[in-house]
Amino acid sequence: MSELEVRELRYFVAVAEELNFSRAAQRLGMAQPPLSKAIAQMESRLGVRLLERTTRQVRLTKAGQVLLDQARIAVDAVHAAARRARRAGQPTPRLVVAVKPGGDAGLLREILAAYRDTGAHLPPPEVVVGGSGEPIAMLRDGRADVALLRSPFDGQGLDSQTLVVEPRLAVLPAAHRLAGRRRLRLTDLKGEPIPRWKGAAHSSTAYCTGYDDAGAGGGHTDSAPAETPEGPLVAGVEQLLEVVALGQAVAFLARSTTERHQRPDIAYRPVTGLSPSAVMVAWPETSRSAAVAAFVRAAHDVATDHPDHMPALV
């Protein structure tokens, strides 16, 4: 059996994500017949069905889901190798640090200062601020060398170190029936709609609703998210706060994030049984960069002095 080519994996990822051959072909900039033929040839060579096709829908088989998970990693790795090679050949090297707004728990400025003060001849840092899901995508596809991320995230192919672990608070409209309480229990919020984050994986969805394994005593990951009414789709903290202020949902945010977003129409309350938010520094496990190593050391040193530093949870 011959090996699959990167081109074929790209084709399959597009079809598997769109679950529609016409949309996948449009996304790839090609006609539908050769795309359908390519997928059929892949199935023939692998000896398994990857997709179940009917006149109404396309669904992944178990084998197709496995290939999708692995194909994403493989395609990302190829793209990352090319990007990193091009960047390594640039006359002026740089260390690209990816982070989303509020994703650093207020640590980034100090980390950058500590990195610059190492005294070594290291490339200057360049910070790229992206939306939800962008920092880890940049890390995987080679656009970034290191990132500050909030858990949970898919750590496959990455090394990481926990910097701080801080509590999350409930985000309520100021006029909410529970806003007058000093502390809430997670069960108090049962049945409240929770905003959905654009592109969130299942583990992230469970975490955002408060019913991940670390919250509510564990054991709720599979059932509670399905029982939680879906709130509006959001792509950032500002949008989330507007949704909450309008009474369309309640949410959970890390304490440092709430401190940056004080509003008269929003109430923040501590919640018993709610899992915390961990800020982590992450980098590709194959990295041999002295600059990345220096940044990670600087991040660790800065976090050690932070009141929420919890090395036992690393």
Structure tokens at 113: 């200062």
| Boundaries of domain holding 247 | 168-275
Nearest of 92, 71, 94 to residue 11 by alpha carbon: 71
Q: Are residues 195 and 287 in the same domain?
A: no
> Which of 62, 85, 108 is a domain's end point?
85
**Residue whose structure tokens are 């950058």:** 112
Q: What is the CATH number of the domain that holds 199?
A: 3.40.190.10
Q: What is the CATH number of the domain that holds 23?
A: 1.10.10.10
In the prediction, which pLDDT does 202 show?
64
CA dist 211 → 135, 157, 168, 196, 252 (Å): 24, 26, 13, 14, 11
Number of domains in the chain: 3
In 3-124, where do the E strands start and end? 51-53, 58-60, 95-99
In the prediction, which pLDDT does 203 show?
63
Q: Are residues 285 and 157 in the same domain?
A: yes
* 80-118 b/e (C-beta count within 10 Å ≥ 16 → b): beeebeeeeeeeeeebbbbbbebbbbebbebbbebbeee
H or E stretch covering 73: helix 62-88
* Full-model pTM: 0.73
Q: Are residues 156 and 284 in the same domain?
A: yes
- Are 250 and 237 in contact by the 8 Å Cβ rule? The answer is no
State which amino acid sits at residue 68.
Answer: L
In the prediction, which pLDDT does 230 show?
84
The segments of the chain whose pLDDT lies below 50 read: 1, 215-225, 312-314
Q: Are residues 181 and 251 in the same domain?
A: yes
**Residue whose structure tokens are 């590709």:** 284
Q: Are residues 264 and 290 in the same domain?
A: no
> Which of 57, 85, 113 is a domain's end point?
85
Report the residue count for the chain: 314
Q: Are residues 50 and 194 in the same domain?
A: no
In the prediction, which pLDDT does 216 show?
42
* 165-201 b/e (C-beta count within 10 Å ≥ 16 → b): bbbbbbbbbeebebbeeeebebebbeebbbbbbeebe
